[in-house]
Homo-oligomer: A and B are copies of this chain.
Amino acid sequence: MTTPASRSNIILQPGDALLLVDVQKDFLSGGALAVPRGDEVVPVLNHCLNKFQKRSLPTYASRDWHPPNHCSFTEQGGPWPAHCVQTTEGAQFSDALVLPESAEIISKAWMPDQETYSAFQETNLNEKLKTGNIRRLFIGGLATDYCVLNSVKDAIQLGYTVYLLEDAIRAVNVHPEDGCKAVEEMTRMGARLCPTSSLCPALAHSNALLTDLYQLTMMQGYFDQKMNQTAVFEFFVRTLPANRGFLVAAGLEQVLEYLETLHFTETELDWLRQCGHLRRDFVDSLEGFRFTGDVHAMPEGTVFFGNEPILRITAPLPQAQLVETRIINLLQFQILIASKAARMVLAAPGKQLIDFGLRRAHGAEAGLLAARASYLAGFSGTATVQAGALLGIPLYGTMAHSFIQAYDREDLAFEQFARSHPKNIILLLDTYDINRAARHAVALGKRLMKKGIRILGVRLDSGDLTVHARSVRNILDEGGFQEIRILVSGNLDEYALATFTKEKAPVDGFGIGTCLSTSEDAPSLECAYKLQEYGGRPCRKRSEQKATWPGRKQVYRTINTEGVMQEDRVTLDDETREGTPLIQPCMQGNQRLAPPEPLTEIRKRIAQQLQGLPKPMKSLQTEFTYPVKISRALEDLAEAVDRRIDLPT
């Protein structure tokens, strides 16, 4: 099975390089060994080249550079016709390929008696990449099932993160399945499929300065003391907000992206040098800074509770310290929204829920991530266009009051809208008088019917929505439009949804804005990211009301035969307990252990988890407290740590 491509964009950064494999005339149409549809990769690769150039990132172009008597040629008993013979025209790169002057040429398979396909074999490519501090390699070219395949395999084995440019490769297909099998093999080994359109060349600022100043002042202290041993930090929520019976893990993907790409730009280093808070020698040491650590976490979509670690960072102390602020910033917000949205999903079973929250979200990123987190929790989609473009979340939306007002005449506005969007007609009824508007909709619906056009729905945005929905339903039904759906919006939260459900209001879908995107009744979590171990020595903080459990931890969950959650137990990481361990490894030495999880997979997980909640937790009540126990070994460790710290100093 091939790994599905991530929908998110990949931001090119220092440490990235492009490898073009054998885009040579002999492999293109009219060549001695033309790859079927091989010419198609050229414009796609030109587009990539342009993106890499914009970021001043290096390009390597490999070429078959065979001697005339190469062993792979049929004349010598090999499988191929003579091709790419040194200095012949067939060995030249495609004339249409716009290679920058700075591109480095890697000549391969130049020894007469040795057939090699990989750009790494008998070449100095690996050496060049290492010298250039290259960590991620984007590979495209010809042919998928020979030179691309073998170059990718070598690159992975040499420790590079490999992105296979899926639309910039073509296969020879001696057997028709060869190309597909090669892609399968590469992804199984860890190559990530990536369409060239998802490469983003530009980054104004890195996220490295999205941190508190004290992280940097402490790092200067660590630098001076050469305190570079392994630190273990864990992220957890101390206690749940009053109106939440459970929380839903979300935001891991953004944390991994952040850690993968973390670096200081030159501009940022220049700024830090003169900011007056840090010494120059320390700032100099941040050049080439990377996160090199490990991440363990609960998968996104896991239901969790207070005092349970949901993410663990294991890294040299300065790295693990710097990332605190942004990790909390990313995790808290998506947990808030996924948890709030999950309550809404529970309160409106079977109804369509749509995120309308961008305008009242706290800034752009909040709007975007609220669309993501609510979609994970079971929302159908969002109105936020950028969430569609960047994250692939389904978009919804038709008209606002201003559209009606601009026409003055409501019936005219409806008619014109129908003309512009005949396949997506949803009419807003409450600009002036809802019932009159409903009658306009019926009249329009009858006229449209003759043209075979249907009104999909109507939307109500003010007043007593249940009352209005009933009267609009009547008007529509009497007009013969039982199939027109009624959507409502306007300061709705999970309690309002529960009331609609209880009153059996004739509403088919809900647009949810402010209450969702600000998590209005609980806009923050008592969450923390705390040092639990340093240099192999467990530690804990003992501040009043804020003491933490020391050491690396695991959470085991037991589930009964009906699939219902029974109990969680927080243990030391190396304890083995009944149940399922929730914390799983997901990044090692800054390498992801799996490609980004598709949003649809996380949606399925949340749906399953909500299904498995104990019954009282499926309501909006929060009296029921799910049992979370602390293992004896963990309690013992806490005591031992306290005894150590209490030694006279």
A→B interface (CB under 8 Å): 9, 11, 54, 197, 200-205, 207, 209-218, 220-225, 227, 231, 233, 267-268, 271-272, 275, 277, 317, 321, 324-326, 328-330, 332-333, 336, 356, 358-369, 383-386, 388-390, 395-403, 405-406, 408-412, 416-417, 419-421, 424, 430-433, 461-464, 514, 518-520, 523-525, 527, 530-531, 534, 537, 539-546, 644-645, 649
Contact of A222 with B406 at beta-carbon distance under 8 Å, contacts A214-B400, A385-B213, A431-B542 already known: yes
Bound complex: CA A386 to CA B369 (Å): 20
Q: A463-B543, A543-B430 are in contact. Are A363 and B360 (CB under 8 A)?
A: no
Determine the residue in chain B with the shortest Cβ distance to A331: B359
Query: In whole angstroms, how far apart are the Cα atoms of A448 and B238 in the complex?
Result: 38
Residues B364 and A207 in contact, CB atoms below 8 Å apart: yes
* Closest beta carbon of chain B to A283's beta carbon, Å: 12
Cβ-defined contact, A213 with B396, below 8 A: yes
* Closest B residue by C-beta to A220: B420
B432-A542 in contact (CB<8A): yes
A386 to B272, CA, bound (A): 10
Give CA–CA (A395, B214) in the complex, Å. 10
Q: A464 to nearest B CB, angstroms?
A: 8
Assembly CA distance A500 to B520 (angstroms): 28
A365: which B residues are within 8 A, CB to CB?
A: 362-366
Contact B397 A317 (CB under 8 A): no
Interchain Cβ contacts under 8 Å between A and B, 5 examples = A204-B204, A212-B385, A218-B417, A402-B530, A408-B644
Q: A363-B363, A363-B365 are in contact. Are A399 and B204 (CB under 8 A)?
A: no
Are the C-beta atoms of B406 and A317 separated by less than 8 Å? yes
Most buried by B among A54, A325, A368, A417: A325
Q: Are the C-beta atoms of B210 and A358 separated by less than 8 Å? A: yes
A361 touches B362 (CB 8 A): yes
Closest 6 CB pairs of A and B: A213-B397, A363-B365, A214-B397, A463-B544, A462-B543, A362-B362
Q: A214-B399, A544-B463, A649-B409 are in contact. Are A329 and B317 (CB under 8 A)?
A: no
Question: How distant is the Cα of A351 from the Cα of B332 in the complex, in angstroms?
Answer: 30
A645: nearest chain-B partner, CB-CB: B432
A419 and B214: CB pair below 8 A?
A: no
- In the assembled complex, how far is the CB of residue A444 from the closest CB belonging to chain B, in whole angstroms? 12
Nearest CB of B to A72, in Å: 41
* Contact of A537 with B408 at beta-carbon distance under 8 Å, contacts A210-B367, A363-B333, A388-B213 already known: yes
CB proximity of A367 to chain B, nearest CB, Å: 6
Chain B contacts for A514, CB-based, 8 A? 524
User: Inside 8 A of A388's CB, which chain B residues have their CB?
Assistant: 209, 213, 275
Contacting residues, chain B, for A416 (C-beta < 8 A): 221, 224-225
Contact residue among B214, B222, B400, B462 (Cβ-Cβ distance under 8 Å from A218): B400
Residues of chain B within 8 A of A523, CB atoms compared: 362, 518-520, 523
Q: How far does the alpha carbon of A454 sit from the alpha carbon of B201 in the complex, in Å?
A: 48
Closest chain B CB from A176 CB (angstroms): 30
Query: Given A401-B541, A416-B225, A462-B546, are A209 and B364 also a contact pair (CB < 8 Å)?
Result: no
Task: Report yes or no: B367 in contact with A329, Cβ–Cβ below 8 A.
Answer: yes
A275 to B389, CA, bound (A): 8
**19 additional contacts (CB under 8 A) given A212-B358, A212-B385, A363-B366:** A54-B54, A197-B267, A211-B385, A212-B397, A218-B399, A218-B402, A223-B420, A272-B389, A275-B388, A329-B358, A329-B361, A333-B363, A362-B362, A363-B369, A401-B541, A431-B542, A462-B545, A462-B546, A514-B524
A333: nearest chain-B partner, CB-CB: B362
